[in-house]
A = this chain, B = another copy of it.
């Protein structure tokens, strides 16, 4: 290399590059180059997901890499977070390490939404001041508003300084004929020349993995468009615990994570408005939901307390602030309203989902389950509600699974028995691609089929006889060979190991044990319905989930996916202040059971590790 050339790291196959810095590992270099790498552990060398194939003089392998990569190390694979190329070079990123555009669920079930929004609009005609009545512009505006509303609020209307400063110009331009937008009948949040288009609102579900924004017309409640993106905080780790600990290690991280989500949300708002042909400055209200960690990090509140006993959030009831205070680029005076949390691990998303399914009014015993990155659930019966959060782990989203992945192209999403009624299983892959891994619904489906075929026993051990040639000995014990190397997207065999099966057993046992604790606590002997919220719930086959014993006994027909219920709840609260109050009342009325250290939970958890008998 000529001495005047700065050494570079080039990422292939996308040919993206960044300068080589001796202090940066390849994960950091990838971030600098704009290459999205899977890093669910946040770059701590724990998850083994950020596998890359560097060419050039790489730093020597770490003990962690040796443990996680085993013989693959000899094939040239490395973990990007544990390896550097100080002198530059080329790095090949295999498809399964890439953070792709995941398939995100953007629609939810919602019927007959009530429209009674915080923002109301009023057409005004202001009298001009005269020498006889030289009344101030603001007070003329307030008088016209009081007339339009039939009354003024107690304590009077409010006009923010920014709008007050713009008022003279606006009055001159519009000859005193204005559209005024009031929030809660009190604060003027926008002023435009008369006949301006209706105010818009944005409901946002800020998930750990994905963010979805719903753009609504606040005059008639119409859903105008939906936009979605991956949560950019994935750079700091896939799960909330990684992100919380990233904040603890680095005081800047909280600011950066918040800013990243704000930037993404600004893009979502622009996207949604572009789809609807509307200006982003028409958005006067934003309602947000998300788990407690997303809430704290987005609002730049230290999330440390969420990760240590007694897991208390910093604020539980709704948080309101001007959207611009966080850097959101909506209307200058737009407000942000976060729906209430219930507890450190039962967030506003669960409260919103409970609102969406009407948990406060359900009579028959119903379990509402959010199988997102965390396993939160609410048991509702006779108008009572009880919530808990289980440490189910990320296995059901493909985390901690050797070849697990998100619901992206190449993921096995469903399996079925061969026509012979046995193995090999036939695999359905997202977008029909060659398989490269298993997503959550695929894992459940494969396990269910293996149980059905008798290839897997109640204890979770493979039956050598029934698996036959499809069982092979892997590095860490026996593994089911789902697809041979020649038929996959990455040239390696697709396998499900005994360790993967155990990981999934722990996850489903935790969920079922949590549900059973709630049932015992509420005196509910039998569930009538299970409502599955979130993307996973919609992709999951109820009969398969039931086959695994994931829930307390319930007919398969009573298990129902309710889509992005959290998003629907956010839209309901955006469109109606009554629903917003109801969300608060619901969160106050909901009981909460802390499972850590709960006397019943551990026993029920152990009892539920085996699969149900055939």
Question: Which A residues are closer than 8 A to B by beta carbons?
Answer: 129-139, 156, 159, 161, 164-165, 167-169, 299-302, 304-305, 309-317, 319, 321, 325, 341, 343-344, 592, 594, 596-597
Chain B residues in 8 Å Cβ range of A299? 161
A-B contact pairs, 14 of them (CB 8 A): A129-B310, A130-B310, A131-B594, A131-B596, A133-B310, A134-B310, A134-B594, A137-B314, A139-B316, A161-B299, A161-B319, A168-B302, A168-B305, A169-B302
Select from chain B the residue with minimum beta-carbon distance to A596: B131
Nearest B residue to A594 by beta-carbon distance?
A: B131
Q: Is the CB of B164 within 8 A of A312?
A: no
In the bound complex, residues from chain B placing their C-beta under 8 Å from that of A305 are 137, 168
Cross-chain contact A138 with B312 (CB below 8 angstroms): no
A130 contact set on B, CB distance < 8 A: 310
Q: Provide the bound-state CA to CA distance between A319 and B159, in Å.
A: 9
Give the complex CA separation of A594 and B304 in angstroms: 63
CA A467 to CA B22, docked complex, whole Å: 95
Q: Which 7 A-B pairs have the closest CB atoms?
A: A136-B316, A138-B315, A134-B310, A129-B312, A134-B312, A131-B310, A136-B313
- Is the CB–CB distance between B312 and A137 below 8 Å? yes
Contact A139 B317 (CB under 8 A): yes
Quick one: closest B residue to A156, CB to CB?
B317
Copies in the complex: 2
A interface secondary structure, majority: loop
- Would you give the shortest CB distance from A308 to chain B, in whole angstroms? 11
**Are A164 and B314 in contact, CB atoms less than 8 angstroms apart?**
yes
Task: Please indicate the chain B residues that have their CB under 8 angstroms from the CB of A138 in the complex.
Answer: 314-317
Residue of B nearest to A136 (CB): B316
Distance of A319 Cα from B162 Cα, bound (Å): 12
CB distance from A582 to the nearest CB of B (A): 17
Inter-chain contact A136/B314, CB cutoff 8 Å = yes
Specify which chain B residues have a CB less than 8 angstroms from the CB of A164 in the assembled complex: 301, 314-315, 319
Q: What residues of chain B lie closer than 8 Å to A301, measured between beta carbons?
A: 164-165
- The answer to whether B131 touches A597, judged by C-beta atoms less than 8 angstroms apart, is yes
Hey, which chain B residues are within 8 Å of A311, CB to CB? Answer: 131, 134
In the bound complex, CA of A195 to CA of B318 (Å) = 30
**Nearest opposing residue in chain B for A169, CB measure:** B302
Contact A321 B594 (CB under 8 A): no
For A317, what are the chain B residues with a Cβ–Cβ distance below 8 Å?
136, 138-139, 156
Asked, given contacts A302-B168, A305-B168, A594-B134, whether A161 binds B314 with beta carbons under 8 Å apart, the answer is no
In angstroms, Cα B164 to Cα A603, docked, is: 39
Central interface residue in A168, A299, A321, A341, by most chain B CB within 10 Å: A168
**Known pairs A130-B310, A310-B134; A139 contacts B594 (CB<8 A):** no
Query: What's the minimum C-beta distance from A170 to chain B, rounded to whole angstroms?
Result: 12
Which B residues are CB-close (under 8 A) to A325? 161
For residue A133, which residues in chain B have a CB less than 8 angstroms away from its CB?
A: 310
Q: State A167–B309 Cα separation when bound (angstroms).
A: 18
Nearest residue (CB) in B for A345 is B134
**Residue pair A309, B131 in contact (C-beta under 8 Å):** yes
Q: Please tell me if the beta carbons of B168 and A343 are within 8 angstroms of each other in the complex.
A: no
A594: chain B residues at CB < 8 Å are 131-132, 134
* B-side contacts of A167, CB under 8 Å: 314
Cα(A179)–Cα(B596), bound, Å? 34
Write out the residue numbers on chain B whose beta carbons fall within 8 Å of the beta carbon of A165: 300-302
The residue among A312, A325, A344 with the most chain B CB atoms within 10 A of its own CB is A312
Cβ-defined contact, B344 with A139, below 8 A? no
Q: Given known contacts A165-B300, A304-B168, A305-B168, is B596 in contact with A135 (CB within 8 Å)?
A: no
- A138's nearest neighbour on chain B, judged by CB, is B315
Which residues of the other chain, B, contact A304 by a CB distance below 8 angstroms?
168
Residues from chain B with a CB closer than 8 A to the CB of A309 are: 131
**Bound state CA distance, A354 and B135, in angstroms?**
20
Cα-based distance from A133 to B289 in the complex (angstroms) = 23
- Distance between Cα atoms of A129 and B344 in the complex (Å): 12
- Which residue of B has the minimal Cβ distance to A315? B138
Asked if A135 contacts B168 (CB within 8 A), the reply is no
Considering the chains assembled together, what is the distance between the CA atoms of A45 and B165 in angstroms? 31
